[in-house]
Amino acid sequence: MTGSHPVPFYETRLGRSYLGDTLELLPSFPDASVNLIVTSPPYALHFKKEYGNPDQGVYVKWFLPFARQFHRLLKEDGSLVIDIGGAWQPGRPTRSLYHFELLIALCRELGFHLAQEFYWYNPAKLPSPAEWVNVRKLRVKDAVECLWWLSRTPWPKADNQSVLQEYSPDMQRLLERGYRAKERPSGHRITRKFKDNGGSIPPNVIVCGNNDANGHYLSRCNETGRRPHPARFPSPIPLFFIRFLTDKGDLVLDPFAGSNTTGEVCEAEGRRW
């Protein structure tokens, strides 16, 4: 720190990385200065990672001081996206409610709005926990994590046209052949406005693996003899929300940056970080 201003650990043309305690660093940043906070904090895991994980019973209390800073830093139309995995209760094949308790506390105690819940499905996830899935065969593998999209107001900046997906082959054939306006069995009424809009609006499920064994990050870790971060989140997650919730030149913050996947995506997308 230089006076009250933190010194970057490294910086680029678009961003700065800081090495330190987030709760000590964030108070030095100005109010209402950030467009998007997208992050993956330590989960409340029973089997801890080497960087440490808060216990389920104290997780909300642990997280709220960070969240108060997030609320202060966000612009009026800004968003907070939290990638948070679930956890099992110790010694029992039942799930913890800690991530749901956190969501409720963020809305009821700090005034955040739940803009929409998203889910990350990881098809490459290994079966776990072994005791309940592989040994006793009482549960199926846990391959979905929650992505809470929160905002300061009910009207955060967002544009789903920035994250359109390719039409399915069936949809492409339908657009080519045309569609007769009628009411579907579900009750939805398809009108003559049915047309090619450049792509389909995505669902609130992001499907991607987290097994980038040959990527630049791991290659550089091997070259320099450094131990890789044990719990990186894949770039498609921040990429989706950065495109969906920000414009070029906007400022993005990741307060639990880890290997700085968010910064790398921002560099490629023309966002400050």
Catalytic (active site) residue 55: no
Which residues, other chains included, contact 163 with Cβ-Cβ below 8 Å and sequence gap of 6+? 202, 240, 243, 244
User: What are the strands, taking DSSP E only, across 193-260?
Assistant: 205-207, 252-253
268: DSSP letter:
H
Which residue in 6, 54, 79, 83 is the catalytic one?
83
Which residues, other chains included, contact 191 with Cβ-Cβ below 8 Å and sequence gap of 6+? 181
Residue type, 21: D
List the alpha helices (DSSP H) in the chain: 22-25, 59-73, 98-108, 130, 169-177, 216-224, 236-245, 261-269
Find how far residue 24's CA is from the centre of its chain: 23
Catalytic (active site) residue 230: no
Vertex 236 angle, CA 204 and 41, to 5°: 85
Catalytic (active site) residue 247: no
Q: Tell me the C-alpha distance between 122 and 181, whole Å.
A: 38
Which residue in 6, 40, 54, 151 is the catalytic one?
40
CB 6 within 8 A of CB 223: no
Q: Tell me the C-alpha distance between 270 and 249, whole Å.
A: 6
Q: Tell me the C-alpha distance between 180 and 165, whole Å.
A: 24
Q: Tell me the C-alpha distance between 102 and 108, whole Å.
A: 10
The set of catalytic residues is: 40-41, 83
